[in-house]
Amino acid sequence: MSYAGPEFDPPQPRRPRRGPLTLAVAALVPAALVGWLVYEAVADSGHGPAGTASAKSSAPSAAASPPDDGKRPAASPAATPGAAARPGSGPLSGKVVVIDPGHNPGNFQHASEIARKVNIGTNSKECDTTGTATNSGYTEARFTLDVARRLRTLLEAQGATVKFTQDGDRAWGPCVDERARIGNQAHADAAISIHADGAAAGDRGFHVILPATVHSGAADTRPIVASSRDLGEHVAGSFVRVTGSAPSNYVGHGTGLVVRSDLGGLNLSTVPKVFIECGNMRDSKDAAQFTNGAWRQKAAQGISEGIVGFLRG
């Protein structure tokens, strides 16, 4: 079920000022705030000054039509507001976010490699899976990579350092244990794994998966259970608000939150981490959203705002 309507235009976080005047104000404030304010002005006004005008095309709104191919932002002139912020400036300066696009489009061609068992602490489990797909063949792996790239653009615009576990730049994988390790080794302030579910038709809506308390073998989630829940609650709340999507009607009892102990990517994490299942690819209504670039932009915006809220406390 979708609650999308005019009142659900993606809200912009913390607007100290609106409109073109913000640019004039920006000239008077400390340099660290400039990137943020420029982003705000562009996103709000829809008619930024010369030099940033192209940024408005990626401002999140129902009318936006971001590129559907999820190209690396740096290669796309429309993929600002990232261009408005310099690395290391902005409210998330100094924060590291690891984004884990679930699966890999190449996994389908590497069945034996991804079937290899890896140790997830509690037991061993397949390295990875192919992921699911819509009935028309739009794969989860393509979807997750696209949303992840949009999310990266949004977070980098606010000064965060963003690292991917894979960016369509390897033949398959990585395995779930490596996905966790990448976040750990980056000392991520937040890590998120992006997925879409493959449940029965009629099962709809998103859910965020939180790590259970697991202390077994190489897994010890005790230090991250509370912070991960905080992260997950922020993400779930923002996702509802920005996308208008309802929490899952088939797991989580309407909360949009599910705790699991069987996911290596969570069990092995030493940094705050959650998964988000953005909806159900096997449901035609959810699938119609997934195949819509404007909706994927909203999904990325919802996730971004949740991460920002978590990181800014």
Catalytic residues: 277
Binding residues with Zn ion: total (CB under 5 A)? 3
Nearer to Zn ion, 17 or 110 (CB): 110
CA proximity to 273, closest of 128, 96, 67: 96
Q: Does 173 bind Zn ion (CB under 5 A)?
A: no
Q: Does 179 bind Zn ion (CB under 5 A)?
A: no
For residue 129, the minimal CB distance to Zn ion (Å) is 7
For residue 23, the minimal CB distance to Zn ion (Å) is 42
Residues 32, 36, 42, 45: is their CA dihedral positive or negative?
negative
For residue 41, the minimal CB distance to Zn ion (Å) is 37
Residue nearest to Zn ion (CB): 195
Question: Which segment (25-33, 79-87, 129-137, 268-276) binds Zn ion by CB under 5 A?
Answer: 129-137
Distance CA 136, CA 59 (A): 29
Element (H, E) at 300: helix 293-311
Q: Does 282 bind Zn ion (CB under 5 A)?
A: no
Q: Does 211 bind Zn ion (CB under 5 A)?
A: no
Distance CA 38, CA 162 (A): 20
CA proximity to 198, closest of 143, 117, 124: 143
For residue 96, the minimal CB distance to Zn ion (Å) is 23
Count the neighbouring beta carbons within 10 Å of the beta carbon of residue 254. Answer: 11
Nearer to Zn ion, 197 or 233 (CB): 197
**Tokens standing for residue 86:** 């310099």
Torsion angle of the four alpha carbons 263, 266, 267, 268, in this order, in degrees rounded to the nearest 10: 120
Q: Does 131 bind Zn ion (CB under 5 A)?
A: yes
The CA distances from residue 230 to 183, 208, 263, in Å, are: 17, 11, 19
Q: Which residues pair with 91 in a beta bridge?
A: none
Nearer to Zn ion, 100 or 156 (CB): 100
Nearer to Zn ion, 44 or 197 (CB): 197
> Considering only residues 88-127, where is the footprint of Zn ion by CB under 5 A?
102
> Considering only residues 188-207, where is the footprint of Zn ion by CB under 5 A?
195
**Tokens standing for residue 58:** 């990626």
For residue 165, the minimal CB distance to Zn ion (Å) is 13
> Considering only residues 33-62, where is the footprint of Zn ion by CB under 5 A?
none
The CA distances from residue 75 to 69, 71, 118, 153, 294, in Å, are: 12, 7, 35, 12, 19
Q: Does 265 bind Zn ion (CB under 5 A)?
A: no
Q: Does 10 bind Zn ion (CB under 5 A)?
A: no
Nearer to Zn ion, 56 or 195 (CB): 195
The residue ranges that bind Zn ion (CB under 5 A) are 102, 131, 195
